[in-house]
Amino acid sequence: MPNFPFGKRREPERKDRSGPGPASVPPPKPPPPLPAASSPPAYEPPPYEPPPPYEPPPYEPPPPYEPPPYEPPPYEPPKSGREAKAPARPPSPAPTPKSPQAAPPQAPPEPRREKGARHAGRPSPDRWARIVLGRPSPEFEPKPPPSDPYRPDTLFDGWSTPAITVRLASVRGDAHRYGGQPRQDDIAVAVHERTGAVVFAVADGVSQAKQSHVGAALACRTAVQDVMRQLDGGKTEVDWRRTVSAAAYQLVMRVTRGAEPSAEQRKEAQSLLATTLVTGLVQPLERGQLGVYLAHVGDSGAWLLHRGAFHPLLGGKAEREDGVFSSSVRALPWVPPQIEGTWFGVPEDGALLVGTDGFGDPLGDGTGMVGQTIKLELNRPPREPRALAQLLDFSRETFDDDRTLLAIWPRHRLEEPGGGPAGTATGTGGAVG
Amino acid sequence: MAETQGQLLPVYVLADESGSMHPYVGDLNAGLASLHRALLGEPMAAAKVRFSVIGFANSVTERLILADLRAESELPRLTASGGTSYEAAFAALLRRIPQDVDTLKSQGYRVHRPAVFFLSDGQPNYGEAWQDRHRELTDRSVTKAAPNIIACGIGQAQAETMLSVATQSEFAFISVPGAQLGESIAQFFTALTKSVVESGNAMASGNAELVVEKPEGFRLAIDEV
């Protein structure tokens, strides 16, 4: 696997950065220190005023229901000629035959929609069909997850600051949909207004931990809150160990309900709430580039997507020396002895991807069908945030884990409504400087 | 590491087909058939398993190798005759498993540590050096893809033998004395199905290499010795 070519991996404690990358890619400047707060105002809670007593409004029965008159929509015959249609694709190959010598891996065929085709004009009932990459996962109606806490199957979000465009999605894996388990991945993202930094956390709950979905949610929110607080306090370097420890502590506190934990309660937190965590922040730099800090516990991944190649920024899972694959993970509330934020630069035509292994495992090194599709769709930010959710929920046999993906671009890569990218690559936006 | 075609768990049923199993061979075949039916109802797990059935008596018969059970209309039928050569059984796996793992990897799959479900009703042939083959098979410095072995002894099988075969003491079971052997065999396959389903579902999303269910009507061999 190629090393990250931009030569910008840096451990904050050391000032000796490795050399610059290839000449074709102008290396981003080192990160500017986060601006110190001039004088963070002390928080004063407003005086408490009890709310007025509740008085229910007088009940008025609703008017009787009258259905609106039915008007059939005018029929529009399909336009002839070259309408957008998904490329035809041969039926998926038969399951692996008994013979072990059969069917060597082949070049990836075109992705396809599960049924039907892309539509033009009238919406097709299959317009939300899953994108199939390779042999599809079986089709079935998902079972509901446990009721408390409410945990939707899919979440997606998207927005831009003046300098940074964010798209994200988290989808329940087929194994959990089939088994009626909740989505155990989670994600939280926030903008720190004064610095213009986008602060994020992505977590992958360990499936053996019964409430790892709660652990993942707690870890994400706590990590983002802690980084925001550190930025509020005017720190020029985020203490990532503090952030990760805060997330771990929150998991333990969930078990002890605020009391000091015993050794047994720590074990209970590990077996009940264990989750991986990647947290970090993205800052706008000069010339439309971005600077990224990342810290992590466990196997979730991060990649720089640049000019069609996926450059892994974190270790990720690897096959062991004995040639068999193990999915064992290290997870919070266990905190590794060494936690450092690592800095990377994102070139002005690059994108940062942070994802759980439900995304990273099928991606592999990004040279197969999944990578081809992702890089095509995420070369620039998709206009609609929900497009990322549909893309991430691709169907591929045996890859049935929850998937979460955060994608961040310099905003000038976004095609703004009304046409054209937003401004030039020189915009720095935000309040950094 | 290119893109992986999928992630697979190779599962081997290593079944005693010696003459003493003759009264129960019908139960063995019924157990295999019920396992097949159950896995067809678990498409998510079935997709991640490649299933092999190897019978052993004085020698070994490879009855099914790396099958995708969704593509099989029927599982092979076991028979019973001859002695009980554990040496032949483990030698066959020693040859078969590294080859199978290489085959699956060459097809672009990511392969988890294989699981062997061993079912026997008695003692191995006297004087065999089966322990040497077993050691080679389970020593990860000798056999890289050394399998996890779950051993279920039924009838007269001794707890010590099952503990020697299983790769962890909590993977060794013996049937409860007085239990019907046919019933024990059926329970063995029920537990095997659960293990396969849960391992298949867990391996993609968590940290379990193998989930092992204790068969009803069995107890941990470690409790016996």
The partner residue sitting opposite B2, judged by closest CB among A98, A137, A364, is A364
Q: What pLDDT is recorded for position A63? A: 55
User: B25: domain CATH number?
Assistant: 3.40.50.410
Q: Which H/E stretch holds residue A88?
A: none
pLDDT band at A91 (very low <50, low <70, confident <90, very high): very low
Closest-CA residue of B relative to A330 is B207
Instruction: Please report the pLDDT score of residue A236 as a whole number.
Output: 80
Whether the model clears a pTM of 0.90, i.e. scores above it, the answer is no
Coil, helix or strand at residue B88: helix
Could you tell me if residue B104 is inside a domain? yes
Count of structural domains within chain B: 1
The confidence score (pLDDT) of residue B225 equals 60
Q: Is residue B84 part of a domain?
A: yes
In 3D, which of B98, B120, B124 has the Cα closest to residue B13? Answer: B120
Give, to the nearest 10 degrees, the angle between helix B130-138 and helix B86-106: 20
Where residue B149 falls among pLDDT bands split at 50, 70, 90? Answer: very high
For B13-66, how does the pLDDT look when each residue is reduced to its tens digit (9 = 90+)? 999 999 988 888 888 898 888 888 888 888 888 888 899 999 999 999 999 999
Measured between CA atoms, how close is B176 to chain A, in angstroms?
A: 30
Residue A205, burial from CB neighbour count under 10 angstroms (0-12, 13-18, 19+): buried
Average pLDDT of the residues in A198-203: 98
Q: Average pLDDT of A109-132?
A: 68
Structure confidence at residue A179 as a pLDDT band (50, 70, 90): confident
Q: Are residues B208 and A362, on separate chains, in Cβ contact within 8 Å?
A: no
- The larger pLDDT score, comparing residue B151 to residue A94, is at B151
> Which of A170, A367, A398, A400 has the most B C-beta neighbours within 10 Å, making it the best mutation to test the interface with B?
A398
- Give the distance from residue B11's alpha carbon to the nearest chain A alpha carbon, in angstroms: 14
Query: Dihedral angle at the C-alpha atoms of A300, A305, A310, A313, nearest 10 degrees?
Result: -40
For residues A97-102, average pLDDT: 39
Q: List the domain range (segments joined by +) for residue B27.
A: 6-224
Domain-located, residue B117: yes
Please check whether residue B1 lies inside any domain of the structure.
no
Please name the residues between 256 and 275 in chain A that touch chain B, using a CB distance below 8 Å: none
Amino acid of residue B103: T
Average pLDDT over all residues of chain B: 86
Mean of the per-residue pLDDT values of chain A: 77
Query: Is B2 within 8 Å of A104 when comparing Cβ atoms?
Result: no
**A60 or B223: whose pLDDT is higher?**
B223
Selected residue with higher pLDDT from B143 and A41? B143
Specify the pLDDT at position B202: 59
User: Whats the size of chain A, residue-wise?
Assistant: 433
How big is the A-B interface in CB pairs under 8 Å? 148
Report pLDDT for A42.
47
Instruction: Give the Å distances, CA to CA, from B8 to A205, A325, B108, B140.
Output: 22, 9, 11, 19
Q: What's residue A22's pLDDT? A: 39
Residues of A in contact with B100 (CB under 8 A): 100
> What does the pLDDT read at residue A286?
92
What share of chain A in percent tops pLDDT 90?
Answer: 53
Per-residue model confidence as pLDDT tens digits over A276-333: 999 999 999 999 999 999 999 987 899 999 999 999 998 655 555 566 666 556 789 9
The reported pLDDT for the residue numbered A99 is 40
